[in-house]
Amino acid sequence: MGRYVKIVAILALPALLMAAGGAEHNALAEQYYKMTGRHTDFVPRLFNFILLVGLLYYFLANPIKNYLNSRSQKIAKQLEEIEKKRHLAKSEKEKAQKALEEAKAKAKEIIEDAKKEATLIKEKIAKQTEAELLAMQKICEERCEIEERKTIRETTIKVLDENIKSDDIPLDAKKIINIVTKEVA
């Protein structure tokens, strides 16, 4: 601490001597001239300034350097962390991009499969419908044949009942069948 007081006293003495003004200034200036042999105090002020800069450098250079070095190291660490995060984000983005492409491909595949399946179902339904129509048509034709036979039988029975009486002609079953067959045909 005593060292600092001496340095401040050495630096402040010329400033205090030169700070006086007015009539006293002339007396002090003459006294300064008698002590130093110079009319101006430029050289001592320059010396004091250089001494001040040297002392400031001596006392503040290392703390400032240490602060700046630690700050630059912190910034470098932050930049490294940011770079790691950027690479991580980039890799995550690439993974997401790949997943998106895979999802798009899967979606296209699903759509194509759905279209194929819809086509197959459509064809299957068309075949089933056609088969049902054919079956219905066949059933209809069979019913028509049955109805036609039924009508023929009823007509034959009616005609026979009206025209033939059991007393008129002795007929056996074969002859009746032949007559009916001819009548129907």
Predicted confidence band at 117 (pLDDT cuts at 50, 70, 90)? Answer: very high
Per the prediction, the chain carries an average pLDDT of 84
CA angle 131, 137, 143 (to 5 degrees): 135
- Of all residues in the chain, the percent with pLDDT exceeding 70 is 84
Domain boundary assignment for the chain: 2-80, 81-185
Dihedral pair phi/psi, residue 146, rounded to 5°: -65, -45
- pLDDT per position as a tens digit, 6-57: 777 777 766 666 655 555 566 777 777 787 777 777 788 899 999 999 998 8
Q: How confident is the model at residue 156 (pLDDT cuts 50, 70, 90)?
A: confident
Neighbours of 36 (CB within 10 A): 13
pTM: 0.39
71 pLDDT above the threshold of 80 = yes
- Chain center to CA of 164: 96
Distance from chain centroid for Cα 61: 52
For residue 59, which phi and psi values (nearest 5 degrees)?
-90, -30
Q: Distance between CA 99 and CA 80 in Å, rounded?
A: 28
pLDDT digits (tens, 9 = 90+) for 136-148: 999 999 999 999 8
What percent of the chain shows pLDDT beyond 90?
50
